[in-house]
Amino acid sequence: MTLFLAVWLNVCSALFHPVYVSVCNVDIDASRSVVTLSLKVFTDDMETMLHNKYNINGWIGTPKEHRNSRRLIGEYIAERLSVEVNRRNRLVLQTDSMIVSEGALWIYMTGKSAGAIQHIAVENRVLTDFFRQQTNLVIIGIGKREEGYSLNRNNCKLELAL
C-alpha cells in the first residue's frame, strides 16, 4: 500500500507540477579550437514554443511535421543560446543535425574559434520566455574535466577561464 501511495503521489505531482528542463553539453576541443554542443529539449516544450511564437503546430518527429518546424527551431535556438570565446568572439554555431528520440529533440551544433580558447561564456535562455520554471542545465567539458551548471530565467549566463 505504501508503494502504491508513493507512486500515486509521484504521478499526481508530475501531472500538476510539470518540470521544464533542458540539458546542453558544451565540449571544448582546445587543440582544434572547436566547440561542440548537444542540446536536449523535450519535444512538447518545443511544440509549445512553435505554437506560441510562430503560430504553427510543429508535430515534431511525426509524419505530420510542419515543413518549417526545424528551420524555426534553429532560428529560435540561435536567438536564445550563444557561446562567446575569449571575451569578445561570439561563435557562429552551425546546426549539424536534429534528432527526435523518446520524446526529446536533440540538436547538435558546432562552432570554430579563430584562435586558442582561453575563456568561454555560455548564455542559455532557451524556453525561459515560455516557462517561468525553466531550468537549463549546462555541462562544460574540456579534456577529461567536466563541470555542471544550472541556469534559469534570472541567471542565464556562465563564464569560465580555461
Q: What is the pLDDT of residues 110-152, one digit of tens each?
A: 999 999 999 999 999 999 999 999 999 999 999 999 999 999 9
Cell 507540477 sits at which residue?
17
Query: Cell numbers of 86, please?
Result: 575569449
- The Cα–Cα gap between 70 and 62 comes to 12
Quick one: residue 40, left, alpha or beta (phi over 0 = left, psi -120 to 50 = alpha)? beta
Check if the beta carbon of residue 29 is closer than 8 Å to that of residue 141. no
Q: What is the largest CA-CA distance in the chain?
A: 62
Per-domain boundaries in the chain: 19-161
Cell 555542471 sits at which residue?
148
Cell 515543413 sits at which residue?
67
pLDDT for the residue numbered 15: 54
pLDDT for the residue numbered 8: 44
Q: Which residues of the chain have pLDDT under 70?
A: 1-17
Cβ-proximal residues to 15 (8 Å cutoff; 6+ apart), any chain:
none
pLDDT for the residue numbered 19: 87
Cβ-proximal residues to 62 (8 Å cutoff; 6+ apart), any chain:
none
- For the residues of 84-143, what is the DSSP string, one character each? EETTTEE--PEEEEEEEETTEEEEEEEEE-SS---EEEEEE-TTTTT-TT-EEEEEEEET
pLDDT for the residue numbered 10: 47
Sheet holding 89-90, edge to edge: 89-90, 81-85, 119-124, 157-161
